[in-house]
Amino acid sequence: MKKIFKSLNCVCILSVFLLISVFLLNNVHVISANSNSITYGDINGDGNIDSTDVTLLKRFILNIINSLAHPKSADLNCDSIIDSIDYSILQRYVLQIISEFPIQNPPDNTSPSSYLTNSEKILFDLINEVRLNAGIEPFECDKDLVDVARIKSQEMVDDFFFSSISPTYGTTRELLNHFNIPFKYATETVSISLNATSSFNQLIQIDLYNEIITDPKYNYIGIGAIRCPIRGLVIVQIFVGR
């Protein structure tokens, strides 16, 4: 890599890397207006720096390469060809930037619920408030369940469907079995709304949803909330009993 970058000319570095840096600086998001917590590199504003932000950055990079006035400036390895190798070099550079972004007031990651995004945490707290008011032990947040719920939510966003049955993984039980998630009881809810609070307010009006979240046989929960630019916040809640 060092030999490759030594051969890069000044035009290459300034025209490509500078554009990316400007983009990153313009996408700093304040997590909460009532706090001083700021995350750098959180491009989609969900409170996390994760694969979604990397994907958005990849798309931006490709758009830059395709629209450069002087294509030679995107030839990072100077082989006179703009191809996947140049893209990989650029990707490594960007990933390095993201991995080095500072986070002010980092959250305490000792509890599983700290793994949740802001939207997921709002739902988690609202659901457990109902449980506590009903005299039932609150749900425990399961990181593996959260991962699976996010996969299902992302699938609904990407494939533009709305169903508790996945075209890829099947029913909720089949989904959990596919990812080796242990359970004795399992159920799932899916919803699309403007935000987490409005989703909860709509769901809580449904008797079946009330029965699920107040059923003591379910003691673990996984919530996946993915923002769809067209439809809104796509939310999957998976409840299991063990």
pLDDT at residue 157 in the model = 93
pLDDT at residue 50 in the model = 67
**What is the DSSP track for the chain?**
-HHHHHT--HHHIIIIIHHHHHHHHTT-EES-TTS--EETT-TT-SS--SHHHHHHHHHHHHHHHHH-SSGGGG-TT-SS--SHHHHHHHHHHHHHHHHT--BSS---TTSGGGGS-HHHHHHHHHHHHHHHHTT-PPPEE-HHHHHHHHHHHHHHHHHT---SSBTTTBSHHHHHHHTT---SEEEEEEEEESSHHHHHHHHTTSHHHHHHHT-TT--EEEEEEEEETTTEEEEEEEEEE-
pLDDT at residue 53 in the model = 65
pTM of the predicted model over 0.85: no
**pLDDT tens-digit profile, the chain (242 residues):** 544 444 444 444 445 554 554 444 444 333 333 334 444 566 666 666 666 666 666 666 666 655 555 555 666 667 777 776 766 676 666 655 555 444 444 444 456 667 899 999 999 999 999 999 999 999 999 999 999 999 999 999 999 999 999 999 999 999 999 999 999 999 999 999 999 999 999 999 999 999 999 999 999 999 999 999 888 999 999 999 99
The per-residue pLDDT for range 187-196, each reduced to its tens digit, is 999 999 999 9
pLDDT at residue 10 in the model = 43
Q: Where are the domains of the chain?
A: 51-104, 118-241
CATH of 51-104, one of 2.60.40.1120, 3.40.640.10, 3.40.309.10, 1.10.1330.10: 1.10.1330.10
For the domain 118-241, what is the CATH superfamily, name and number? CAP (3.40.33.10)
